[in-house]
Structure 1
Amino acid sequence: MSYAIIGFGNIGHALAKAFARNGIEVTVATTRDPESFAADAAAIGAKVTAKTLAEAVKADIIFLAVRFEAHADVAEALPTWQGKTIIDVTNAYGVPPEDLGGQPSSKFVAQTFRGARLVKGFNHLGAAVLAQDPAVHGGRRAVFLASDDDNAAAEIAALAENLGFAPIKLGGLSEGGLLVQARGNSWGRLIFKDLVKFD
């Protein structure tokens, strides 16, 4: 299984740190020339590699960690996303619901990435918290996952475990997923909740 993070801002850095901590290879990409952030990627860890967007989208599992407004530009990188799993880490705060056809933002994103299986996840924590080691006081920091594809949700839950987090599945995008999605100028109820799970 291969992994990529599209977007290398604060959230992209935080996600890359999680991969580096666990010795898992990951590609990071933006629309910029990878040479412009290669040193930054290498500083996080030896298994974090800067690549072009065209190379990064070859990965099986892709974290979409760009500004919400930029997701459609990323979607144009491939004619079809069949066989890919997209983890939607975007937050559509401030985007009028009518611009999304009244749908949850992740459903809107899913339609843009034609053929992909989409999981909403890793977006409810601020970058500074997400970047920390998820092992906290003998427990593990929770990440919430929502998807209309149970198999995709299970796959990303397993990845979250490998990265040291405690995955909590919320169900479909239009049900539990609304708890971790911004709608207009309001945040879902679980956004910014830093919870720790004890086994």
Structure 2
Amino acid sequence: MSYAIIGFGQIGHALAKAFARKGIEVSVATTRDPESFAADAAAIGPGIIPTTLAEAVKAEIVFLAVRFESHPDVAKALPTWQGKIIVDVTNTYGVSPEELGGQSSSKVVAQAFTGGKLVRGFNHLVAAVLEQDPAVHGGRRVVFLASDDDGAAVEIGALAENLGFSPIQLGGLLEGGLLVQTRGNSWGQLIFKDLVKFD
């Protein structure tokens, strides 16, 4: 399985650190020249590969860690996202519910990625927490996942476990997605809930 992170801000860095901790190779891309962030990637680990957006979107699993407003630009990088899983890590703080047409933000994002399978996840924690080792006090830090595609949700759940997290499935993008999204200037009930699961 091949992985890429689109967006290399604080959340992109946090995700890259999670992959590096487990020695799993992942491409990272922005709209900038890869040379401009190559040193940042190298500082995280040898398996963090700076690349172009055009190369990164060839991965089978793509983490969308850009500003919500930028998701249509990323979606245009491919004519179809058939066979790919997109993990929506965007947040919509400050975006009015009217702009989303009453839908969850992930439903809006999913419509842009034609043919792809979208999973909402890894977005409810701030970057400073997400980048920490998820092994906490003998338990594992929780990440919430929501998707309208059960197979994709299971796939990302397995990846979350490989990265050391404890995934909790919230159901579909509408009901589950709303629990982990911002609405205007308010927060979904599970945003910022830093939970640890003990087996």
Q: TM-score range by the shorter chain?
A: over 0.9
**RMSD between superposed Cα atoms in Å:** 0.5
1:174 aligns with 2:174: yes
TM-score by length of 1: 0.99
Q: Secondary structure at the match of 1:100?
A: coil
TM-score by length of 2: 0.99
Partner of 1:45: 45
176-185 vs 4-13, which moves further: 176-185
1:191 aligns with 2:191: yes
1:78 aligns with 2:74: no
User: CA offsets per residue over residues 65-94 of structure 1, 9 Å max, x none?
Assistant: 001111111111001111110000000111
Partner of 1:153: 153
* Identical amino acids, percent of aligned pairs: 81
Partner of 1:10: 10
**Matches for 1:46-65 after TM superposition, within 5 Å:** 46-65=46-65
User: CA offsets per residue over residues 15-74 of structure 1, 9 Å max, x none?
Assistant: 000000000000000000000001110110010000000000000000000011111111
Distance 2:116 2:34 in 1: 25
92-101 vs 53-62, which moves further: 92-101
User: CA offsets per residue over residues 148-181 of structure 1, 9 Å max, x none?
Assistant: 0000000000000000000000001111221101
**Matches for 1:123-162 after TM superposition, within 5 Å:** 123-162=123-162
Partner of 1:102: 102
Instruction: Kindly provide the amino acid, as one letter, of the partner of residue 193 in structure 1.
Output: K
Partner of 2:87: 87
For this pair of structures, how many residues does the alignment match? Answer: 199
Distance 1:86 1:46 in 2: 24
Q: Secondary structure at the match of 1:86?
A: strand
Q: Which runs of 5+ in 1 are unaligned?
A: none
User: CA offsets per residue over residues 102-131 of structure 1, 9 Å max, x none?
Assistant: 110000000001110000000000000000
Instruction: Kindly provide the amino acid, as one letter, of the partner of residue 191 in structure 1.
Output: I
Distance 2:137 2:115 in 1: 41
122-131 vs 182-191, which moves further: 182-191
Distance 2:40 2:178 in 1: 34
Instruction: Kindly provide the amino acid, as one letter, of the partner of residue 59 in structure 1.
Output: A
Which 4+ stretches in 1 moved above 3 angstroms? none
Distance 2:39 2:184 in 1: 37
Q: Secondary structure at the match of 1:141?
A: strand
Q: CA deviation at 1:133?
A: 0.2
User: CA offsets per residue over residues 124-153 of structure 1, 9 Å max, x none?
Assistant: 000000000000000000000000000000
